C-alpha cells in the first residue's frame, strides 16, 4: 500500500466540507440541500464516482467554487470522496442540510483552515484514511478567554 498526503488548494476566505458518499445522485442532492439552506449561497460541489464510468461529477452556483471542488476531487482521486466549497457562507449554516442527504456516509471536516487529505492507495484504488485540519493547540484557554468565547458567541447570535 502507498500513502499520499494531498493538500487541498483554496483561497483563505473559502470554507470547505469534505466527505464520503455512495451514489451518483449525491451531487444533485447536495446541490438542492445547499441551495435551500439560504438564498444566494455561493458553492461548488464535486464527487468522485467509484464504479461504472468513474467520473468526477460536479455542480454548483458559483463557477470558481465549482472549479475548486473539481480540482480537489482530481487531486484526491479517491472513490466516493466529495468536496463542497463555500464562498461567503460557513459550514455551520449548511451542516444539517449536508448531513441530511441520504447518500452522505461521513464527513471528514468542515473548515476554513489549511487541509491535507491522507490517501491510502492499494491495487483496488484510493481511499481517504484521514484529514489533517489545522495546526496543533498551543495551550489551553484561560478564564478570560473562556469569557471572551462565551461573549462572542452571544454577540454573533449563535447562543442566547
28-51 residue pLDDT tens: 999 999 999 988 999 999 999 999
Question: Is residue 16 within 8 Å of 86, Cβ to Cβ?
Answer: yes
Q: Is residue 41 part of a domain?
A: yes
For all residues of the chain together, what is the average pLDDT?
95
Domain enclosing residue 96, as ranges? 9-113
Say which CATH number the domain at 55 has: 3.40.1520.10
d(CA 69, CA 146): 35
Per-residue confidence (pLDDT) for residue 156, from 0 to 100: 87
| Count: domains in the chain | 1
Tens digit of pLDDT for each residue in 147-159? 999 999 999 888 8
| pTM: predicted TM-score of the whole model, two decimal places | 0.93
Nearest-10 crossing angle of helices 91-99, 26-35 = 130
Strand order in the sheet with 115-121: 2-7, 115-121, 126-133
d(CA 133, CA 117): 9
d(CA 93, CA 42): 12
Q: Is residue 24 part of a domain?
A: yes
Q: Is residue 153 part of a domain?
A: no
Per-residue confidence (pLDDT) for residue 134, from 0 to 100: 86
Q: Is residue 128 part of a domain?
A: no
Tens digit of pLDDT for each residue in 68-98? 999 999 999 999 999 999 998 999 999 999 9
Answer whether residue 24 shows pLDDT above 90: no
Q: Is residue 55 part of a domain?
A: yes
Residues composing the chain: 160
Q: Is residue 71 part of a domain?
A: yes
Q: Is residue 143 part of a domain?
A: no
If phi > 0 it is left, if psi is from -120 to 50 it is alpha, else beta; for residue 29 that is alpha
Q: Is residue 130 part of a domain?
A: no
Amino acid at each position: 500500500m502507498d500513502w499520499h498526503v494531498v493538500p487541498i488548494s483554496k483561497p483563505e476566505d473559502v470554507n470547505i466540507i469534505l466527505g464520503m458518499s455512495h451514489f451518483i445522485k449525491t451531487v444533485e442532492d447536495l446541490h438542492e440541500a445547499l441551495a435551500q439552506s439560504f438564498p444566494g449561497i455561493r458553492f461548488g460541489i464535486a464527487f468522485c464516482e467509484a464504479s461504472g464510468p468513474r467520473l468526477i461529477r460536479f455542480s454548483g452556483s458559483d463557477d470558481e467554487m465549482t472549479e475548486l471542488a473539481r480540482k480537489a476531487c482530481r487531486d484526491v482521486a479517491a472513490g466516493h470522496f466529495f468536496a463542497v466549497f463555500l464562498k461567503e457562507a460557513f459550514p455551520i449554516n449548511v451542516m444539517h442540510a449536508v448531513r441530511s442527504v441520504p447518500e452522505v456516509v461521513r464527513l471528514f471536516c468542515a473548515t476554513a483552515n489549511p487541509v491535507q487529505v491522507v490517501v491510502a492507495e492499494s491495487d483496488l484504488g484510493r481511499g481517504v484514511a484521514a484529514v489533517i485540519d489545522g495546526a496543533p493547540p498551543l495551550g489551553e484557554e484561560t478564564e478570560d478567554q473562556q469569557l471572551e468565547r462565551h461573549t462572542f458567541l452571544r454577540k454573533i447570535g449563535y447562543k442566547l
